[in-house]
């Protein structure tokens, strides 16, 4: 991790210099976009981190551990997929929640299935943005095509976790 941070800064700096030098008008647009996204990280994300820290000691870890813990196996994966369906929150709230579940004893395979399911079905995004833009056929086709293989992601994660010895 400690090596990745300077590398990202270096790459970003080089790209920013290139854009500033050769495409000044695009650099201005990038700055605007940066300011827009930075808002989330100045406001919501720190607050969500604090909320997650407040929330962690309150989560009934035994219950969650039983439901989607490492030992819950395939039924835990299926429960995690169902959970992923019905969590209508954007990433700044979702990932602190995952951090809470992780420290409450949830297993990697189950969390993999949970995140994959949330990624594919995120109700707020599918209904709020995708459906109005892309239409019913696109959304139905995408959901139908994804439904069957979600449990396999959890099973693959189970194999990988054992193999990597995490």
Partner 1 sequence: MYGVRSLVSYLKSIILDRLFAVVAVVAILSGALLYELKGPEAIWQAFVSNKSVFLLVVSLVPAALMLSALIEVLLSRDLVEKWLGVGSGFKGIMLATFAGAFVPGGPFLCFPIVLALYRAGADWAPLITFVSSWSILSIMRIIVFEAPLIGFELPIVRFLSCIWLPPIIGLTARYISRIWPPPAGERDR
Q: Considering only residues 90-109, where is the footprint of partner 1 by CB under 8 A? A: 90-96, 98-99, 102, 108
Residue 127 in contact with partner 1, rule: CB under 8 A: no
**Distance (Å, rounded) from C-alpha 103 to C-alpha 131?**
35
Cα–Cα distance for residue pair 162/164, rounded to 1 Å: 6
Please give the residues from 37 up to 76 whose contact with partner 1 meets the rule CB under 8 A: 37-58
How many residues touch partner 1 under the rule CB under 8 A: the total is: 83
Tell me the chain's radius of gyration from C-alpha atoms.
Answer: 20
Check residue 26 for interaction with partner 1 (CB under 8 A). yes
Number of Cβ atoms within 10 Å of the Cβ of 14: 10
Given 63, 86, 127, 145, the residue binding partner 1 (CB under 8 A): 145
- Structure tokens that stand for 137 in this block: 């056929």
Which residue in the set 63, 82, 86, 134 belongs to the binding site for partner 1 (CB under 8 A)?
Answer: 134
DSSP character at residue 56: G
Span interacting with partner 1, options 61-69, 71-79, 80-88, 111-119, rule CB under 8 A: 111-119
- Does residue number 144 form part of the binding site for partner 1 (CB under 8 A)? yes
Classify 109 in phi/psi space as left (phi over 0), alpha (psi -120 to 50) or beta: alpha
Segment contacting partner 1 (CB under 8 A): 61-69, 71-79, 80-88, 132-140?
132-140
C-beta of 165: minimal distance to partner 1 in Å? 11
Q: How far is the CB of 164 from partner 1 (least distance, A)?
A: 7
Question: Does residue 164 bind partner 1 (CB under 8 A)?
Answer: yes
Alpha-carbon gap, residue 118 to 67, rounded angstroms: 17
Number of residues assigned to the chain: 166
Q: Quote the Cα angle for 53-55-108, to 5°.
A: 80
Nearer to partner 1, 13 or 82 (CB): 13
Should residue 79 be labelled a site residue for partner 1 when binding is judged by CB under 8 A? no
* Chain centroid, CA 94 distance in Å: 6
């Amino acid at each position: 991790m400690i090596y990745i941070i300077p590398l990202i800064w270096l790459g970003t700096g080089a790209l920013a210099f290139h854009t500033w030098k050769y495409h000044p008008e695009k650099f201005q647009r990038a700055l605007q976009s940066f300011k827009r996204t930075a808002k989330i990280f100045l406001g919501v994300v720190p607050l969500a981190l604090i909320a997650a820290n407040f929330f962690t000691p309150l989560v009934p870890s035994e219950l969650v551990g039983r439901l989607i813990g490492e030992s819950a196996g395939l039924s835990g994966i299926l429960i995690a997929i169902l959970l992923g369906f019905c969590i209508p929150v954007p990433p700044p709230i979702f990932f602190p929640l995952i951090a809470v579940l992780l420290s409450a004893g949830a297993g990697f395979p189950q969390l993999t299935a949970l995140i994959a399911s949330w990624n594919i079905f995120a109700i707020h995004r599918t209904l709020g943005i995708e459906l109005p833009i892309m239409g019913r056929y696109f959304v139905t086709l995408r959901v139908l095509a994804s439904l069957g293989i979600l449990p396999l992601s959890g099973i693959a994660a189970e194999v990988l976790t054992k193999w990597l010895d995490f």
